[in-house]
Amino acid sequence: MPPSIIPGDRLQPRAYYSASIAGFLAASDADIVSALVRASSFAIETEQRDAWLAQIRHLRSLLGPYAPSGWVALEYAVPRVGRRIDVLLVLRQVIFVLEYKVGDTRFTAHATEQVWDYALDLKNFHSTSHDKPICPILVATDAHTPSNPIALSRDQDGLFAPIHATLDRLGDIIAHVLSLCEGSDIDTARWESGHYQPTPTIIEAARALYSGHGVENISRSDGSAINLSQTSAAVEEIINSSRTHRRKSLCLVTGVPGAGKTLVGLNIATRHMERSSDLYSVFLSGNGPLVAILREALARDRVLRESAAGHRMTLGTARSEIKVFIQNVHHFRDECLLDVDRPPIERVAIFDEAQRAWDKAQTAHFMRRKKGHPHFDRSEPDFLISCLDRHHDWAVIVCLVGGGQEINTGEAGIGEWIRAAVEAFPHWDIYVSPRLHDSEYAAGNALQMLAGRPHVMFNDDLHLAVSVRSFRAEHVSTFVKHLLDLNMRGASEIVASLDTRYPITITRDLGSAKQWLKRKARGSERYGLVVSSQAQRLKPQAIDIRSPIDPVHWFLDPRTDVRSSYYLEDAATEFHIQGLELDWACVVWDADFRYTPSGWSHWSFRGDRWQRIRSDQRKTYLKNAYRVLLTRARQGLVIVVPRGSDDDPTRSHEFYDSTYEYLRSLGLHELR
């Protein structure tokens, strides 16, 4: 099967070939293969042509009984995972997803996971498949037919676990599945007209965008979420207007956690990757793990796509190309220091997580200690604006701003960008969302500076109000905000509405939580342990935050790799996981952030004991750390609050019990 990332636009044919079963049976092999070849964007080798012929002839022998109402598609696009389903069948009341492995004698774990992912994609993101039974089947054409009876397993949402089938057993399996499913036959015309509304992870989205597809093809378009295309279009309009009128502009895009801010930035950057263009853009982030993970994911994907097209590319070459497109903001800053008069090649700079840029004190301290600039006296936003200001005519800075996301010492918040623009660059236009006034954006007094300042434009489209990280429950970020703000009524109301769509469960036992994750995850859905960087007393739980993880391996490697998140041995902190996501997450809650009737109590472990945190800024960082941890899961979350130990004064029961009881009082389900 040739890999290909295809847009989710339902106006385009989703399949290389599709027809009613009756039409399929009436067509010749040559006509069907010809249609497949014409639709493919790749040169078709003899091996692929023979595989198609084998599938077609095998299907002919099975589908006769379903001719009156059935439907078949070959090479059916799955945009989010960037591949195509070999065969999609709509038979009576069931959707069958078939993956043929021609010549295979075994049913490999990778192939099983692949067909499961295809079925999950339809179940989660295809509007007319949500309520339908879906059965993924892996067919190994040269496998030996087992003597044991057919065993089937189906989840509550109607998705079957993958079934292994040999050629001579596939017909019996299809008939057996149909006998187990009740309901009326699927209206194939209505089913075909369904919307495909994917919610990709940032890694999946980056791969699709880098391969040439727009954000509109890989994002939802339903009325419950702000359309990412609308926000992208607003930013594009600001860029084009700035170029046309020779203006310099600072554009602030705000959004709740998981709303797609990074996706908007990547969409803009991937539209302008040609270095010779005056719209050439660069995607910058101070989030080291995010930069490393995206670079490696895009490089690996680039090598695979080049190989599929018949071209050879080394991973090293791919990494070098990606490195220019996605840069660490500190490296970009250092390049601008080499020649203080020369403007950077880019006229459009997109700063992800711009609220984490350093304040004046942190930047000056770093420059003095690490870079040999003892007299540097500018904040990072001030200096970065000055770099783009070196262009004589026009330039644009796009700041992607998360609310309540500052988690480290010296992070200035978005207010420093506004202050720098108002005080040092009065000739710059400023485009902001009215939501920048919300308290979690920490704009502070800087917003008052905008009052009466010329060239300030407010635009509602520059705010992403609804989290789309969790396609199962959009209000998780609001729930977390209520939880952290001790708004028990608001949090409880959302918990009651989440129900089974987005399970949040609590437990005192880490082992039970790990088993819960493994039971919930299907296909390649990724799960992992996440903890606060201050969680120093989880070592009895075999979690040592001082043992560093490699985020690239943790996020990208398969479940067979001990360094991957799947192994549930290494825990990621807020610094590793900010800006990224898991399908299922386990948050292990230590005594650094404790609930008390008078509010949250903030602690740091030093030496052999806990010490109370007094600084308001450090308290905010710790609260935001838990905000990050609790908003990483796309499909469900388990929270572990250890029981503590009377034999260990650093893990006393009282450090943990009140937090657990608070979470339980919100109505969260207890995992027994």
- What would the pLDDT profile of 358-413 be if each residue is shown by its tens digit? 888 888 888 888 788 888 889 999 999 999 999 999 999 999 987 655 556 666 67
SS (H, E, C) 114-147: HHHHHHHHHHHHEHHHCCCCEEEEEEECCCCCCC
Residues 482, 399 share a domain: no
In a domain, 234, yes or no: yes
Whether 178 is covered by a domain: the verdict is yes
Per-residue confidence (pLDDT) for residue 223, from 0 to 100: 40
Residues 440 and 482 in one domain: no
Average pLDDT over residues 431-449: 69
| Domain end position, chosen among 419, 444, 464 | 464
- Say if residue 442 is in the same domain as residue 509: no
Query: Is there a contact between 435 and 232 (Cβ–Cβ < 8 Å)?
Result: no
Classify residue 219: in a domain, yes or no: no
Say what the pTM is.
Answer: 0.83
Range of lowest pLDDT (169-173, 270-274, 356-360, 455-459): 270-274
CB atoms within 10 A of CB 562: 11
Residues 30 and 129 in one domain: yes
d(CA 275, CA 273): 6
**pLDDT surpasses 50 at 9:** no
Residues 330 and 430 in one domain: yes
Task: Determine contact, residues 629/530, Cβ cutoff 8 Å.
Answer: yes
Pair 40, 157 in one domain: yes
CA distances, 161 to each of 312, 394, 515, 590 (Å):
37, 56, 18, 36
Rounded to the nearest 10°, the torsion over CA 621, 625, 626, 631 is 130
Q: How far is CA 45 from CA 2, 30, 36, 501, in A?
A: 10, 16, 12, 44
Q: 458 with 512, same domain?
A: no
117/78 Cα distance (integer angstroms): 10
Q: Is the pLDDT of residue 82 over 90?
A: no
CATH number at residue 611: 3.40.50
List, as one string, the DSSP characters of 569-621.
-SEE-HHHHTT--EEEEEEE--TTEEEETTEEEEEEEETTEEEE---HHHHHH
My answer on whether 515 and 441 are in the same domain is no
Model confidence at 459, pLDDT cuts 50, 70, 90, reads very high
Distance CA 603, CA 590 (A): 10
Angle between helices 476-484 and 488-498 (to 10 degrees): 150
Which two structure tokens, joined as six digits, stand for 139? 């067919």
309-362, pLDDT tens digit by residue? 778 899 999 999 888 889 988 888 888 888 888 999 999 999 998 888 888 888
Mean pLDDT of the chain: 88
In a domain, 469, yes or no: no
- Tell me if 538 sits within 8 A of 642, measured CB to CB: yes
Q: Which helix (H) or strand (E) holds 255?
A: strand 248-255
Residues 483 and 456 reside in one and the same domain:
no
pLDDT of residue 405: 56
pLDDT at 286: 83
pLDDT higher than threshold 50 for residue 494: yes
Give CA–CA dist 569/577, Å, rounded: 16
Query: What's the domain count of the chain?
Result: 3
Q: Of 613 and 257, which is predicted with more confidence?
A: 613
Residue 506, domain member (yes or no): yes
CA–CA gap between residue 491 and residue 495 (Å, rounded) = 6
From the CB of residue 284, how many other CB atoms can be counted at a distance below 10 Å? Answer: 28
* % the chain with pLDDT above 70: 91
Indicate whether 319 belongs to any domain: no
One domain, residues 163 and 78: yes
Quote the domain boundaries for residue 232.
226-287+325-464
| pLDDT above 50: residue 2 | no
Output the pLDDT for position 410.
Answer: 63
Token pair for residue 206? Answer: 């980056």
Domain membership flag for residue 320: no
Considering only residues 419 and 499, tell me which one the structure prediction assigns the higher pLDDT: 419
Shared-domain flag, residues 406 and 367: yes
Residue 356 lies in a domain: yes
Single residue among 464, 496, 517 that ends a domain in this structure = 464
Instruction: Say whether pLDDT at 440 is over 70.
Output: no
Of 464, 490, 513, at which residue does a domain stop? 464
Asked whether residue 221 carries a pLDDT value surpassing 60, the answer given is no
pLDDT of residue 277: 76
Shared domain for 452 and 594, answered yes or no, is no
C-alpha distances in Å from residue 91, one per residue of 54, 73, 77, 614: 21, 12, 19, 65
Q: What is the pLDDT of residue 427?
A: 95
